């Protein structure tokens, strides 16, 4: 009975989290490959948008505040051929779009959605929750103000981390 309750609570948390995160952003690349239009559908959330190249040079960085204009148009006509990453993030998750630009035009190669950890402090302890949908190894480090390592742990293949 306890296991059924935990499972149903986890499913309810997933649906509640999905409802609060809103609709996913959409990427539209024009036919000529000269611009990328980013449409953010949820006006309730603040977003951070970054467009970077593979060498981590920032081409565009900006914030979209709550109830602000939800479309961003990026001009890519003067960019050299290669791969670029468009990152859209809010307080709960991030989405990375891998975009390939060639002479013939631009195309979206892949999309990766990741979730950010949620921290809370209770009675002098710090708790962390993380939904690890790709089942990647998670490395946790706790450091003090002087950057001394207080705690370190690596956890492999866990879907829902609660520590």
Listed as own residue / partner, the contacts of 52-58 with beta carbons closer than 8 Å and 24 or more positions apart are 52/84, 52/85, 52/87, 53/82, 53/83, 53/84, 53/85, 54/82, 54/83, 54/84, 54/85
Q: Which residue has the higher pLDDT, 93 or 68?
A: 93
> How many Cβ atoms from other residues are within 10 Å of residue 120's Cβ?
9
Question: Token pair of 49, please?
Answer: 């948008």
| Confidence band for 161, pLDDT divided at 50, 70 and 90 | confident
Residue 10 CA, distance from chain mean position? 21
Q: Is 4 helix (H, G, I), strand (E, B) or coil?
A: helix
- Burial class of residue 81 (count of CB atoms within 10 Å of its CB; 0-12, 13-18, 19+): exposed
> What is the widest separation between alpha-carbon atoms in the chain?
61
CATH number of 25-115: 2.60.40.3080
Lowest pLDDT segment from 39-48, 49-58, 89-98: 39-48
Q: What share of the chain is helix, strand, coil (3-state, %, to 5)?
A: 10, 50, 35
Going by pLDDT thresholds of 50, 70 and 90, the confidence category of residue 22 is low
pLDDT value of position 7 = 53
pLDDT for res 53: 93
Strand (E) or helix (H) holding 12? helix 2-21
**pLDDT band at 8, cuts 50/70/90?**
low
Instruction: Give the domain ranges of the chain.
Output: 25-115, 118-162
Q: What is the DSSP letter of 80?
A: P
């Amino acid at each position: 009975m306890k296991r059924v309750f935990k499972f149903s609570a986890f499913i309810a948390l997933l649906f509640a989290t999905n409802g609060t995160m809103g609709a996913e952003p959409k990427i539209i690349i024009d036919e000529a490959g000269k611009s990328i239009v980013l449409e953010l559908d949820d006006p309730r959330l603040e977003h951070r948008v970054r467009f970077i190249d593979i060498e981590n040079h920032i081409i565009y960085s900006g914030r979209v505040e709550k109830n602000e204009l939800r479309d961003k148009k990026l001009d890519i006509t003067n960019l050299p051929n290669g791969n670029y990453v468009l990152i859209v993030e809010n307080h709960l998750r991030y989405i990375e779009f891998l975009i390939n630009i060639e002479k013939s035009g631009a195309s979206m190669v892949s999309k990766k959605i990741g979730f950010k950890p949620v921290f809370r402090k209770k009675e002098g302890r710090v708790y962390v929750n993380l939904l690890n949908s790709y089942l990647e190894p998670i490395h946790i480090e706790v450091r003090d103000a002087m950057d001394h390592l207080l705690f370190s742990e690596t956890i492999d293949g866990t879907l829902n981390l609660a520590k």
